[in-house]
């Protein structure tokens, strides 16, 4: 029996062109977590290989290579990338679920393409599955897929995890296709979210849009009961906690130390995204420099921004604004010996990132909205013995578990300034105590535990439905 994990992207990145393609494994939390998941099922993955491939010959080559790793590609055309991925997924649903409804675009070609691509995934799954297999769908790009599969297979076991926030009814109701999307999700036997709030919003939205009532966390539709749950996703804790003792990471720590000298380092790591509050953070840091001149030439903000969705207008504009803001801070405060913001517009290797986490005095994680935020957890896990302070936005799902962080409202610049100052002054013993308490939580709630809990809840709902069907 097989477990098919289905997500918009496969856990590998394809690069290259015509005839010559190379694959690199992505280090994302989901990939490493599901790799370590112990299950009697043979694991397979279905998703887009991340770039547009035109020629059939190339598609066949890539498919053969991927299938040898139990990965099954769904190829998207340029127009589908534009309208389904950049369009409905990332210009309609993403801004809406992150409470940026002014960025939300409604275009019928987006919706058409979203339906078309969800159907493409449905067809790919239909080619592969056998009786007894399970299909675990990931995230907002594929919200219609559970319903499409349910129409074809009444007793297929379908699970869905929503990795981004689920907004309140007042926001979700704005979406013209709200009913279709919710009905699509309810095709699953088991639906889970990172936090209770997202789950509560989902339940009230279903009740008010579809006029059906939940009993606690379950709702009956015909002969099926759908269960929803809150399961916070974690990280591969040991991977990060053990990293600083590895020789390659030690070397990277030495190189990073040389770069920052004896300055205090404030670290910020994000994908380029307006939901991450990068501009608010920069303004907070600028205000800190203005009000605490004693820290000039003593503190550096290391800002890592990983390029993302750069064909979507709101992301391109944000990149320009960030470049300008950093330019303005550095232009104003830099001296011969010091550049306040050290800016990297690219990703880092796992070893280099672990080194930065290990040596950074502060992690400044201030999203305006974030489903979970794994950077906060990775930073805390990487601190094996070394002190450090996590400043974390209340608007990140991770804030529910990480109450020993300095929690701030990212819209309040004054709070960011105060938190930076408090973190810089915090006694080492208090830093260690806070870190240890957070480590106890995140080392228990790992990504493997998350996946195992999901599988358990999903199995229980599926078997309950089997019984109902047999009655
Ligand atoms: C978020 C989403 C994921 C997505 C990732 C990267 O974490 O929840 O579904 O894969 O961002 O975004 P991208 O658009 O590059 O896949």
Nearest atom in ligand 1 to the alpha carbon of residue 85 is: 14
9 CA to middle of ligand 1, Å? 8
471 CA to middle of ligand 1, Å? 41
The residue whose C-alpha atom lies closest to atom 12 belonging to ligand 1 is 308
Average the pLDDT over 412-438 and give the result.
98
State the Cα–Cα distance between residues 262 and 264, nearest whole angstrom.
7
The DSSP code for 41 is S
Nearest atom in ligand 1 to the alpha carbon of residue 138 is: 9
Nearest atom in ligand 1 to the alpha carbon of residue 89 is: 14
Average the pLDDT over 214-229 and give the result.
96
State the Cα–Cα distance between residues 139 and 125, nearest whole angstrom.
16
Ligand 1-lining residues (CB < 6 angstroms): 8-9, 139, 163-164, 308-309
Query: Sign of the C-alpha dihedral, residues 243, 245, 251, 255?
Result: positive
The residue whose C-alpha atom lies closest to atom 8 belonging to ligand 1 is 163
Determine the Cα angle at 270 with ends 173 and 445, to 5°.
80
Determine the Cα angle at 188 with ends 159 and 191, to 5°.
60
Sheet holding 224-230: strands in order across?
71-73, 42-48, 2-9, 134-138, 157-162, 190-193, 224-230, 218-221
Tens digits of residue pLDDT in 384-420: 899 999 999 999 999 999 999 999 999 999 999 999 9
Tens digits of residue pLDDT in 238-286: 999 999 999 999 999 999 999 999 999 999 999 999 999 999 999 999 9
Per-residue model confidence (pLDDT) at position 15:
86
7 CA to middle of ligand 1, Å? 10
Residue 13 neighbours by CB under 8 Å, 6+ apart: 23, 24, 25, 26, 49, 50
The residue whose C-alpha atom lies closest to atom 16 belonging to ligand 1 is 9
Nearest atom in ligand 1 to the alpha carbon of residue 90 is: 14
259 CA to middle of ligand 1, Å? 31
The residue whose C-alpha atom lies closest to atom 14 belonging to ligand 1 is 309
Assessment of whether the complete model's pTM goes beyond 0.95: yes
Tens digits of residue pLDDT in 90-134: 999 999 999 999 999 999 999 999 999 999 999 999 999 999 999
């Amino acid at each position: 029996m097989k477990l098919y994990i289905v997500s918009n992207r496969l856990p590998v990145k394809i690069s290259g062109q015509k005839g010559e393609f190379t694959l690199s494994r992505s280090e994302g939390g989901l990939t490493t977590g599901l790799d370590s998941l112990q299950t009697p099922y043979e694991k397979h993955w279905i998703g887009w290989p991340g770039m547009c491939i035109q020629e059939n010959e190339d598609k066949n080559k890539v498919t053969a290579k991927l299938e040898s790793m139990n990965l099954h590609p769904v190829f998207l055309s340029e127009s589908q990338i534009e309208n389904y991925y950049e369009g409905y997924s990332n210009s309609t649903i993403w801004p809406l679920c992150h409470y940026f409804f002014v960025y939300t675009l409604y275009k019928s070609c987006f919706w058409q393409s979203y339906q078309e691509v969800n159907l493409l995934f449905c067809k790919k799954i239909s080619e592969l599955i056998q009786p007894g297999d399970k299909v675990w769908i990931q995230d907002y790009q594929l919200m219609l897929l559970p319903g499409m599969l349910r129409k074809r297979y009444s007793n297929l076991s379908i699970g869905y995890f929503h990795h981004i926030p689920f907004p309140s009814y007042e926001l979700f109701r704005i979406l013209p296709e709200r009913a279709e999307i919710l009905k699509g999700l309810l095709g699953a036997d088991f639906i889970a979210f990172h936090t209770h709030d997202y789950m509560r919003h989902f339940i009230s939205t279903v009740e008010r849009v579809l006029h059906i009532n939940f009993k606690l966390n379950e709702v009956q539709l015909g002969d099926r009961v759908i269960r929803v749950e809150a399961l916070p996703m974690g990280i591969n804790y040991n991977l990060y906690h053990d990293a600083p003792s590895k020789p390659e990471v030690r070397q990277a720590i030495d190189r990073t130390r040389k770069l920052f000298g004896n300055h205090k380092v404030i670290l910020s790591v994000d994908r380029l995204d307006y939901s991450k509050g990068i501009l608010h953070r920069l303004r907070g840091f600028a205000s800190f420099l203005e009000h605490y001149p004693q820290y000039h030439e003593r503190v550096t903000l290391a800002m890592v921004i990983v390029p993302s969705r750069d064909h979507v207008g709101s992301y391109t504009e944000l990149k320009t604004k960030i470049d300008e803001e950093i330019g303005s801070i550095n232009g104003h405060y830099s001296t011969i010996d010091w550049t306040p913001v050290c800016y990297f517009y690219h990703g880092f290797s796992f070893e280099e990132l672990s080194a930065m986490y290990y040596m950074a005095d502060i992690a400044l994680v201030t999203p305006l909205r974030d489903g979970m935020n794994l950077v906060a957890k990775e930073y805390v896990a990487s601190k094996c013995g070394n002190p450090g302070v996590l400043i974390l936005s209340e608007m990140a799902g991770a804030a529910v578990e990480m109450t020993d962080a300095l929690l701030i409202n990212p819209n309040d610049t004054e709070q960011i300034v105060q938190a930076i100052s408090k973190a810089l002054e915090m006694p080492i013993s208090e830093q260690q105590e806070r870190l240890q308490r957070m480590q106890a939580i995140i080392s228990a709630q790992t990504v493997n535990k998350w996946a195992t809990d999901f599988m358990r809840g999903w199995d229980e709902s599926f078997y309950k439905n089997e019984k109902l069907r047999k009655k």
